[in-house]
Amino acid sequence: MQARQLPLALRRAAASPFYRRRLGPALPRDRAGLADTPLTTKQDLRDSYPFGMLAVPRNRLATYHESSGTTGVPTASYYTDGDWTDLAQRYARKWTGIGPADTFLVRTPYALMITGHLAHAAARMCGATVVPADNRTTAMPYARVVRALHDLDVTLTWSLPTEPLLWAAAARLAGLRPDRDFPSLRALFVGGEPLSRARRDRIAEIWGVPVVEEYGSTETGSLAGQCPRGRLHLWADRAIFEVYDPGTGRIGPDGCGQLVVTPLYREAMPLLRYNIEDDVEVRYESCGCGWALPTVRVLGRSASGHAVGPATVTQARLEELVFALPVRYEVMFWRASAQPHQLRVEIEVPAGHRDAACAELAAAVRAEYGIEVRVDPVEPGGLVSRDALTATADVVKPRGLFGPDEDWDRALRYY
């Protein structure tokens, strides 16, 4: 499939001002040519802002997106209608299925990024009813999400993995039990941040439904999805994947390093060997699910850690230890500070489980790293404020005239 589609993908790339300028007569014509093509970096995309990568006339564009880097210079990406068919199809490859009977709550941002629109388009393509519930808007605080999940019989959701934990806390504050009072819910789709197996299992346990992970970016859309056996598989029928080791410069089809992707179906913004700069491990191995696609473990930035004494503590491993605590301790929120000679951890935990939870987590950290650790309990609400979980929407429209008892400082405010 890759060999069949690659020539067209390369012809499309030849229309991109960026690739014409960079590669000139060396524009690749086949797989061997692609192997000699230098990687496209995030910096290349930033330098091409806004339309330096555009390979079709502007009037063919359907949407424009940006992802915000740490440097503040935006990375632009854009898609045609044809691109959107490919994007929505890839996202819709969920083993749980998405169908007309589903009510699909989209809880990722709609502004500039692709994530909300991607889930929205995929769910619409499958005939589902979409509830747009952007997580960066004041119109949709957590209490309102819980109300929507409950009252609208939501069956599927799309969010960061942290969100269902916040919904669970908000649901409990509203007197609802996540595993009992949302009987229509049948799966939680999550992506956008690294997720350890222990945290994924814990979210599934709390809600009593499968948690289905998704991996992608605003520049590429979905790159991998989770199979029924719990592994992430790369969509190698829609893109060519390679792994780049920045230490040695080696680029190969598998192993550990940074993920490099050449999408095969892009019209508006072709990318050749785009380095996503996420740390991954790619393997070609058989999986019980039967999908003939390589597997990927996404380590992201959570793979790099901080030194504490002789050990290097990583967010990924620490998260495993926190979420390995028994579910009855109700520990969902935590934070840790890596200091030179001690790891300081705080966990939100109800009074009844305070001593056991702290002692068990401290023992687990010592056993894992052999370092000094101090685990302190925090009252529920201490890390994630109850106000944030119980607040209701307070959105005002701009107006000028106020009554005698109204606060006219709210004039022209949109929040």
| Interface residue list for Zn ion (CB under 5 A) | 227, 229, 231, 287, 289
Tell me the closest approach of the beta carbon of residue 174 to Zn ion, in angstroms: 37
Residue 177 or 229: the one with the smaller Cβ distance to Zn ion is 229
Report angle CA 96, 98, 103 to the nearest 5 degrees: 115
Tell me the closest approach of the beta carbon of residue 45 to Zn ion, in angstroms: 31
Tell me the closest approach of the beta carbon of residue 239 to Zn ion, in angstroms: 18
Residue 175 or 290: the one with the smaller Cβ distance to Zn ion is 290
Residue 78 or 91: the one with the smaller Cβ distance to Zn ion is 91
Tell me the closest approach of the beta carbon of residue 290 to Zn ion, in angstroms: 7
Residue 189 or 334: the one with the smaller Cβ distance to Zn ion is 189
Residue 92 or 130: the one with the smaller Cβ distance to Zn ion is 92
Report angle CA 222, 224, 227 to the nearest 5 degrees: 130
CA distance 310 to 305: 12
Q: Using only the alpha carbons of the chain, give its radius of gyration.
A: 23
On the 0-12 / 13-18 / 19+ scale of CB atoms within 10 A, 404 is exposed
- Amino acid 191 reads G
Residue 91 or 274: the one with the smaller Cβ distance to Zn ion is 91
CA distance 305 to 311: 9
Tell me the closest approach of the beta carbon of residue 118 to Zn ion, in angstroms: 22
- Amino acid 337 reads S
Tell me the closest approach of the beta carbon of residue 233 to Zn ion, in angstroms: 6
Tell me the closest approach of the beta carbon of residue 283 to Zn ion, in angstroms: 11
Residue 116 or 225: the one with the smaller Cβ distance to Zn ion is 225
Look at residues 398, 406, 387 and name the one whose alpha carbon lies nearest to residue 143: 387
Tell me the closest approach of the beta carbon of residue 360 to Zn ion, in angstroms: 32
Tell me the closest approach of the beta carbon of residue 249 to Zn ion, in angstroms: 31
Residue 64 or 95: the one with the smaller Cβ distance to Zn ion is 95
Burial state string for 344-368 with b = 16 or more CB within 10 A and e = fewer than 16: ebbbbbeeebbeebbebbbebbeee
Residue 88 or 227: the one with the smaller Cβ distance to Zn ion is 227
